[in-house]
């Protein structure tokens, strides 16, 4: 991936990761599943997902927006 | 009394182990400034990950964090997730990777140096170093104070406050002054792994005693039902976002973290570290903060210092284990302070001393750097003995102070239209506003958004960050670069 298309796509991915790190839709919820509040499980899942997305970024788009154009390695 | 002896023995053994690691590192250290301050940019993944992580974590993980979870519920998990897991990871790439490329190409060791070079401005360089030291020294004091208080509490006063704080300071002086970045990073790695292990052991031990997480959560639901529901009380949306944003950006400009952007051996190391951030956040904070929250269901009450983890450990684990955890907490404080001393000294040496002294050799600079470590350690220790309220307040608001630097620096890194006047206006304006919000009574420290008052108050730190951004961009747009400025310093970068 290269160019501004990839830049926009990854920026949106980053925004989603930031925006939903807090499960706003569970605000006020106190349901418990398997010993922990559901929102704590969301936090656990979201951190695992974030690590996965970060890994995918390092494999496919590292250097995007930081290194010089045309020199993005894989 | 026998128990106190054992506890002191465990902590002394731990300190000696740290010192030993520092001494081994010293044997490998060259007598040059770049090796002393940056270990010659040779760190691999494990060391970089743990040294940055251990540096980020101060006493908060063991004391303030679990105590906040005890008092208000474990929502701090989400603050940490947003802050250290997601935002810091992204900044690690956007600011950190870029700084690594720039620093490697031009040989920069400090943030002020990197900015001064680009903008051809000694004034900017000294200003950034001065602002950083202003916030840093009182923050180091808080760590020494934390260590002194924790050791006094653990031993029931047998180790007095001054002796605890002084002893920890002395140990740090020895291994930081001797071995520099390599010693600091190696001891950090040891301390980071130790902290992680100890937190999990504590969680397993206590949960085993109360019948597992489901039983602990059921007790919490019975005794403090508000703790299980997301939000409420202290935690408003604006509080969560303000805190996470301010600390995440602040952390990137803290000298000891910012300097770690320069030390990776290769881009592969930065990639792997970047991926592992959220995992490490998960592994450390979930057990630490859930223990604090569960304590509210178990009927444990905080100790005289207002901390929850020590009495929780005393209630469910033997005395030697509590001592190990306190050793872990002291480790957390030391691993932050040692790095801060070293980075503070590098700012003092390179951005201040070398700007006024003529003909300084590499060897001499490394020597002055060591003297700087001792001086900073002693100054912060003396402050920790007298604990003046104003200085403690500076330490407590340090993250916000550093956060003010982040956006002007980020703009400079990416926008070639940034001018020297623009970044000076952004840095001075945002610092001025933030300082006023901390110290001038009629400048508010919290701001409601008129269109959305329901979100709660936004911190002055976030407001100041936006002001810094607007000033940097706005003043740059209406001023022209001077002849000394060179935008190409931050361009044409590649990892190869």
Domain regions of chain B by residue span: 2-387
CA dihedral for B342, B344, B350, B354, sign (positive or negative)? negative
pLDDT confidence band for B306 (50 / 70 / 90): confident
Please tell me which residue, B11 or B353, carries the higher pLDDT value.
B353
Contacts of B496 in chain A (CB under 8 A): 71, 73
Mean pLDDT across B38-65: 84
Give the closest-approach CA distance of A5 to chain B in angstroms: 18
Question: Quick check: B73 pLDDT over 70?
Answer: yes
Give the closest-approach CA distance of A1 to chain B in angstroms: 17
pLDDT confidence band for B58 (50 / 70 / 90): low
CB-closest option in B82, B89, B276 to A22: B82
CB-closest option in A46, A65, A68 to B492: A68
* Domain B2-387 top-level CATH class: mainly alpha
Q: Determine the Cα–Cα distance for residues B48 and B45; give it in Å rounded to an integer.
A: 5
**What are the pLDDT digits (tens) for B275-300?**
999 999 999 999 999 999 999 999 99
Residue from B131, B81, B393 nearest B247 by CA: B81
SS3 B264: strand
Dig out the tokens for A39 from the structure: 């929102």
Residue B306 makes CB contacts below 8 A (sequence gap 6+) with B67
Burial class (CB in 10 A: 0-12, 13-18, 19+), B494: middle
Please tell me which residue, B471 or B159, carries the higher pLDDT value.
B471
Residue from B377, B4, B332 nearest B167 by CA: B377
Residue B57 makes CB contacts below 8 A (sequence gap 6+) with B192, B195, B284, B332, B335, B336
pLDDT at A71: 45
Contacts of A21 in chain B (CB under 8 A): 78, 81-82, 85-86
> What's the predicted TM-score (pTM) here?
0.92
Chain A touched by B233 (CB under 8 Å): no
Question: Quick check: B3 pLDDT over 80?
Answer: no
Angle at the Cα of B63 from the Cα atoms of B70 and B81, rounded to 5 degrees: 75
User: If chain A, 74 residues long, is cut into consecutive pieces of 10 residues, what is the mean pLDDT of each piece?
Assistant: 81 97 95 95 97 96 84 42
**What are the pLDDT digits (tens) for B322-342?**
888 888 788 778 888 889 999
Question: Quick check: B32 pLDDT over 70?
Answer: yes
Question: Quick check: B155 pLDDT over 80?
Answer: yes
Q: In chain A, what are the helix, strand and coil shares in percent, each to the nearest 5?
A: 60, 5, 35
pLDDT at B2: 62
Task: Tell me which H or E stretch contains A36.
Answer: strand A36-37
CB-closest option in A24, A43, A54 to B274: A54
Q: Determine the Cα–Cα distance for residues B153 and B179; give it in Å rounded to an integer.
A: 31
Dig out the tokens for B421 from the structure: 């006047």
Contact B225, A30 (CB under 8 A): yes
SS3 A37: strand
Contacts of A58 in chain B (CB under 8 A): 271-272, 274-275
CB atoms < 10 A from the CB of B171, how many?
20
Contact B182, B23 (CB under 8 A): no
**Least confident among A11-20, A29-38, B154-163, B427-436:** B154-163
pLDDT at A74: 37
């Amino acid at each position: 991936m290269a160019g501004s298309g990839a830049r926009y796509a990854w920026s949106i991915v980053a925004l989603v990761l930031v925006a939903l790190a807090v499960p706003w839709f569970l605000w006020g919820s106190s349901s418990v599943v398997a010993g922990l509040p559901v929102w704590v499980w969301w936090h656990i899942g979201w951190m695992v997902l974030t690590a996965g997305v970060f890994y995918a970024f390092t494999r496919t788009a590292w250097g995007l927006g930081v290194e010089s154009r045309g020199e993005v390695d894989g | 009394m026998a128990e106190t002896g054992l506890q002191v023995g465990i902590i002394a053994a731990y300190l000696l182990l740290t010192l030993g690691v520092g001494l081994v590192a010293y044997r490998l250290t060259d007598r040059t400034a770049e090796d002393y301050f940056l270990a010659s940019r040779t760190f691999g993944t494990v060391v970089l990950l743990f040294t940055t992580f251990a540096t980020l974590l101060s006493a908060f993980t063991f004391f303030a964090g679990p105590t906040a979870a005890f008092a208000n519920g474990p929502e701090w998990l989400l603050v940490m997730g947003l802050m250290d897991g997601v935002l810091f990871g992204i900044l690690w790439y956007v600011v950190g990777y870029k700084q690594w490329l720039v620093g490697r190409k031009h040989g920069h060791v400090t943030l002020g140096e990197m900015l001064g070079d680009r903008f051809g401005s000694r004034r900017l360089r000294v200003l950034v170093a001065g602002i950083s030291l202003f916030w840093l020294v009182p923050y180091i004091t808080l760590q020494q104070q934390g260590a002194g208080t924790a050791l006094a509490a653990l031993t029931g006063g047998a180790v007095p406050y001054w002796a605890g704080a002084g002893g920890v300071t002395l140990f740090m002086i020895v291994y930081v002054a001797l071995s520099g970045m390599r010693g600091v990073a190696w001891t950090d790695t040891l301390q980071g792994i130790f902290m992680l292990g100890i937190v999990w052991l504590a969680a397993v031990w206590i949960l085993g005693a109360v019948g597992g997480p489901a039983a602990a959560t059921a007790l919490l639901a019975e005794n403090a039902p508000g703790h299980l529901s997301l939000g409420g009380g202290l935690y408003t949306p604006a509080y969560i976002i303000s805190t996470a944003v301010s600390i995440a950006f602040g952390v990137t400009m803290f000298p000891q973290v910012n300097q770690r952007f320069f030390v990776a051996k290769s881009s592969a190391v930065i990639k792997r570290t970047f991926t592992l951030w959220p995992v490490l956040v998960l592994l450390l904070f979930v057990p630490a903060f859930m223990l604090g929250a569960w304590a509210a269901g178990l009927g444990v009450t905080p100790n005289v210092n207002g901390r929850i983890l020590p009495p929780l450990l005393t209630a469910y684990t033997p005395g030697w284990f509590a001592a190990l955890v306190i050793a872990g907490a002291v480790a957390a404080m030391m691993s932050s302070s040692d790095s801060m001393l070293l980075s503070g000294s590098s700012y003092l040496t390179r951005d201040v001393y070398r700007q006024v002294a003529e003909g300084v050799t590499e060897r001499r600079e490394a020597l002055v750097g060591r003297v700087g470590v001792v001086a900073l350690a002693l100054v912060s220790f003396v402050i920790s003995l007298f604990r003046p309220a104003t200085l403690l307040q500076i330490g407590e608001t340090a993250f916000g102070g550093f956060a003010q630097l982040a956006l002007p620096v980020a703009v400079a890194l990416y926008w070639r239209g940034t001018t020297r006047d623009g970044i000076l206006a952004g840095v001075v304006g945002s610092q001025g506003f933030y300082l006023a919000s901390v110290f001038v009574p009629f400048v508010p420290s919290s701001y409601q958004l008129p269109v959305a008052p329901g979100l709660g108050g936004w911190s002055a730190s976030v407001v100041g960050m936006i002001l810094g951004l607007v000033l940097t961009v706005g003043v740059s747009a209406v001023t022209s670069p001077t002849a000394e400025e060179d935008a190409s310093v931050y361009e044409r970068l590649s990892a190869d």
